[in-house]
A = this chain, B = another copy of it.
Amino acid sequence: MLKQQAVDRVFYALADPTRRALVERLSRSPASASDLVKRLEITLAAVVQHLQVLEESGIIRTEKVGRVRTCRLEPGGLRLAEQWISERRSLWERRLDRLGDILDEEDLEPSNKGRKG
């Protein structure tokens, strides 16, 4: 999967509040689909559908042992979205810092002081 496509899927998956509630729950421990139904008061069918979106985006992985399918978080999926955001935010913040430095330097230049006076 292309990185762009992977980023699209992770952000699509995280946009839904119920899917974020599932991520929240799974950040504490692995759980089966029926464990998740108990906590979230939605149907098993809805939970299964949301888990599928989360799995396709790489945010969780599921593993079937016997008759029970257990879901657990995959840190890599979440990290992809986190990095995307962090890179844009820090690019902009570095730019703001540089602008601040330039303004400070201009304030300190004697020629500018002369012009102001």
- Among B8, B12, B73, B95, the residue within 8 A (CB) of A29 is B95
Which of A's residues lie within 8 Å of B, judged by CB?
A: 7-8, 11-12, 14-15, 17, 20, 23-24, 26-29, 73, 75, 78-79, 81-82, 84-89, 91-93, 95-96
- Among B12, B73, B79, B95, the residue within 8 A (CB) of A28 is B95
The CA-CA distance from A40 to B75 in the complex, in Å, is 32
The CA-CA distance from A23 to B8 in the complex, in Å, is 14
Given A12-B15, A14-B11, A14-B15, A73 contacting B89 (CB threshold 8 A): yes
Are B11 and A15 interface neighbours, CB within 8 A? yes
Assuming A11-B15, A82-B89, what are 13 further A-B pairs, CB within 8 angstroms? Answer: A7-B20, A14-B15, A23-B88, A27-B87, A27-B88, A27-B89, A28-B91, A28-B92, A29-B95, A73-B89, A75-B92, A81-B85, A85-B85
